[in-house]
Structure 1
Amino acid sequence: MACETERTPLGVFKCQLCALTAPYSYQGRQPPDSQSVVLLEESYVMRDPFTPDKGRFLVVGSRCSMCGRLVCVGPECSLFYSKRFCLPCVQDNVDAFPQEIQQDLEKRKVPFTRPASQRSS
């Protein structure tokens, strides 16, 4: 029988861009039951519902390191480049990111407009 803390989520994570909602069981950098894992960002984590292994988890989302909004880890909403960034902040500051990140953004389905100074004539 599962203990009460495993059955009861701490809260419900809601992405402020796509409105994804998911119950989370931990918020922080070192999920319980996974002593060898330290996340690179404060994350909202849920136990993996697809496995009975209680040490397995899924990262649901985090806060954008620029604006602070809650965003899921979906490619339509955020990216991780040393820190979590929501796509609106990335688009507003695209020149601050390496060329590889800029190329990755162009491949995504999200409409991305380059600054007028970088558009080819």
Structure 2
Amino acid sequence: MMASEADCRPLGVFECQLCALTAPYSYVGQKPPNTQSVVLLEESYIMKDPFTSDKGRFLVLGARCSVCSKLVCVGPECSLFYSRRFCLPCVQENIGDFPQEIQRDMATRTAASKRPSSQP
């Protein structure tokens, strides 16, 4: 087996505990393999970017919520990063502890999610 095949072999399957997104991950941590100077700000679940042959390219799937420890994807409907990863239910429970900018962003997200799916 070639080394590149070993690099791509999944360690497991990431599953978001909010939206049930699943994807195979190949690394968990802050320093993705085959990158020289990339250090992520949180311990993340990573997969090799399937859309390129560049070994240094990767996708961040998600991380654990720093409050409740749920595994959540980086999708805007599931989590946000503000110095640490927070799942949206924990953000909503503690919204007063976040800066005004985050509170406004959450109000916008909530309004957008209440629109009928037929509207853009």
1:28 and 1:50 map into 2 onto residues whose CA distance is 22
Amino acid at match of 2:46: V
Identity %: 72
1:35 aligns with 2:36: yes
What do the CA deviations read for 1:70-108 (whole angstroms, capped 9, x no partner)? 000000000000000000000000000000001001111
Amino acid at match of 2:47: M
Give the SS at the match of 1:3. Answer: helix
| CA deviations over 1:7-66 (Å, ceiling 9, x no partner) | 310000000000000100000000000120000000000000111100000000000000
> In structure 2, what is the Cα distance between the partners aligned to 1:110 and 1:100?
18
Quote the residue 2:56 is aligned against.
Answer: 55
- 1:26-105 matches, within 5 Å, as 26-105=27-106
Q: Which residue in 2 is equivalent to 1:114?
A: none
Distance 2:11 2:5 in 1: 11
User: 1:2 offset after TM fit, Å?
Assistant: 5.4
Q: Which runs of 5+ in 2 are unaligned?
A: 115-120
Query: 1:110 & 1:68 partners in 2: Cα distance?
Result: 24
Instruction: Report the 3-state secondary structure (helix = DSSP H, G, I; strand = E; otherwise coil) of the residue aligned with 1:60.
Output: strand
Q: What is the number of equivalent residue pairs in this alignment? A: 111
Matches of residues 13-24 of structure 1 in structure 2 within 5 Å?
Answer: 13-24=14-25
Q: Which stretches in structure 1 are left out of the alignment for 5+ residues?
A: 112-121
Provide the rounded CA distance (Å) in 2 between the counterparts of 1:79 and 1:92: 14
Could you tell me how far apart the structure 1 residues matched to 2:87 and 2:28 are? 18
1: CA distance, partners of 2:104 / 2:12: 36
Counterpart code for 1:16: Q
3-state secondary structure, aligned to 1:31: coil
Alignment root-mean-square deviation, CA? 1.3
Amino acid at match of 2:93: D
